[in-house]
Chains A and B, each alone.
Chain A
Amino acid sequence: MTLSSITKISQDTLKSRLVDIKGTKAISQRFLEAYLFQLSTKGDWEIFIDVLTLTIYGVMLFPYAGDYIDYAAMDIFVVVRTRSENPVTVFLADTCLALYLCYETKMRKMFCCVHILYVWLMARVGDNVLGVRCPIELVTRRKLERRSGKEWALYVAGLNQKKIIWQPSWQQRSKIIFSCVGFPNVPLIGVRGCINYNPVLAQRQFGYPIRGAPTAAALVVLVCYYRDGFVTKT
């Protein structure tokens, strides 16, 4: 199955809609939103859900090309839809890679999904609501007071271990993936490159005490990009 057979947009229309953005081919958010509106008036909900997901992938989860859905976002969407590959590791890989590149290249743009990162932090601070199994629901339920940008920055800067919920009620797993065969830690494959991460440092989040300092081998950085030139200073 191709993108055009999933979205029921003809190949010619799709190709004519492709624009060059940051060195990759992309489709605009506006075009897909107009198409979604058409689908909703026709009541074609099956296709609507697929196209909505494609758009969310492009502009929210993998927003590298701004308000365009770029090739990487289309690729991961098609793969998830047709080969039922699991995208969870990709979201994490993208976050780690984007943050890593911010420091490594002094690039200021964070091209990862900030929404997931936001939920990730906010579901671990503040009041623990018992019985909530979904981190997004927990964060949505809490009504945040209005604060200015500077006040929020101070709030994050002032976080300490007493303010962290170490055992949130939404956390259902007690066993974690610690390392992969042949690796001292866990390598992640993303849409723009690969990066490894260190679950050894996360033991406390899952209720285990940290036993001694991690070995240097466990912390070695592994990073690679699929495409030259995608790392540009902006």
Chain B
Amino acid sequence: MEVKSGFGVERESKVLDLKKKLKFEPIENNLSKLRELGRKLKVIQRASFRRKYGNLLGLLELEIEIPIVTTLAQYYDPYMRCFTFQDFQLVPTIEEYEQIMDIPLSVGVPYKHLNNTLLF
């Protein structure tokens, strides 16, 4: 048992060294005004917003801990395109993103970049 726990500690310190490799900076915009504006919507309007564009308001309201994301990024394996942790891998998938955004995949066709959208 002692040998095992010793091994665990060693592995942990190895993993913690890893994160010094690259420091990531997410783009952090000030969302407080947008949140304020979003709160002006009434319940029915919020529901129709969600049906039209997914759960953007829920995502907007959420306060996130940036260090969690920047540390997560340090475990990214760019060649496998997944996150590799001590003893498991996680891949962000279309199906999970579908659930998070609450936009069913069955609605519409996936975005195709045509670069000919008339904006103005």
Contacts and interface: CB of A to CB of B under 8 A. Distances in A.
Contacts of A135: 96, 99-100
Interface of A: 2-4, 11, 14-15, 29, 33, 36-37, 40, 45, 48-49, 52-53, 55-56, 59-61, 63-64, 66-67, 71, 74-76, 78-80, 83-92, 95-96, 99-100, 102-104, 106, 108-111, 114-124, 134-137, 139-140, 144, 147, 149-150, 152-161, 164, 170-173, 176-177, 186, 188-191, 195-199, 201-202, 204-206, 219, 221, 226
Interface of B: 12, 15-16, 18-19, 22-31, 33-34, 37-38, 40-41, 45, 48-49, 52-53, 55-56, 58-62, 64-73, 75-76, 78-82, 85-103, 105, 107-113, 115, 117-120
Given A33-B37, A63-B29, A86-B109, A140 B62 contact: yes
Contacts of B33: 33
A67 B30 contact: yes
Please classify the interface of chain A as helix (H, G, I), strand (E, B), loop, or mixed, using the class held by over half of its residues: helix
Contacts of A74: 119
B97 A88 contact: yes
Contacts of A33: 33-34, 37
